[in-house]
Structure 1
């Protein structure tokens, strides 16, 4: 899954791809319109690869949630994030049955579905990507042990 360099920047709509790191911050490109912006070190920035979703057993990575949605939709677009909260929670429960509804709010689900649809439109999420990455990691671990 290609979300290692995808950022969510507080106060800015959409998602951004990390392009270049500088002394005072970094340069990011919007996935929506392709415009480049500079972001200072004081900005609240989250790497999508570092985000997790609460479950009853602990947490699961956002990449696994996105893959589960991709599997449910057969790599197609997800339900719109503009649907009503009950419909969104029901949809999210189908994709991620173990999510903790006491700690994952409707606003979180809206954000995840919006991100999924943006990433899916750019071809950055798929149901097969996680299996390939896992196989490559296992192969590298075996080589390291030899």
Structure 2
């Protein structure tokens, strides 16, 4: 499973895996609990593969940020997302030194680190997009 099947659903804690589509929305499974829920099209849903982080020159896909954290931590978990503002910002600056401090808020950094830790603690280590894998195989 790549990031294109991992969802964040507003109003619901944690991350979910897209399992099936229905007429009025889709079915998602909680990554931590394994419970399936029905999600209507009225919910605000974000695919992690579509999220990017602002830098001074470009937008870096969330998968690349996760990969940098993964490499920095040698496959382990990152710092706690409940750490102080200074700790979070300095940690994130080590991972992505060129991030735009005016457009990436502390709440964004917290969420990114929380999502990363949740994915890694549940055995998820493939942060590439499926499309990129296909391109690599063709070469």
Q: TM-score, normalised by structure 2?
A: 0.92
Q: Who is 1:31 aligned against? A: 31
Greater Cα radius of gyration, structure 1 or 2? 1
Q: Distance in 2 between matches of 1:26 and 1:135?
A: 26
Consecutive unaligned residues of structure 1, counting only runs of 5 or more, are none
Output the CA distance in 2 between the equivalents of 1:8 and 1:134: 22
1:4 alignment partner, SS class = helix
Q: How many residues align?
A: 138
Question: CA-atom RMSD, angstroms?
Answer: 1.8
Would you say the 8 A contact 2:28–2:37 is kept in 1? yes
Residues 9-50 of structure 1: per-residue CA shift (max 9 Å, x gap): 000000000000011000000112111100000100000000
Partner of 1:95: 95
CA-CA distance at 1:4 after TM superposition: 1.4
Name 2:135's counterpart in structure 1.
Answer: 137
Query: Could you list the runs of 5+ residues in structure 2 that have no partner in the other structure?
Result: none
**Contact 2:3-2:48 at 8 Å conserved across structures:** yes
Taking structure 1 as the reference length, the TM-score comes to: 0.88
> Does structure 2 retain, via aligned residues, the 8 Å contact 1:28–1:37?
yes
- Name segments (4+ residues, structure 1) moved above 6 Å: none
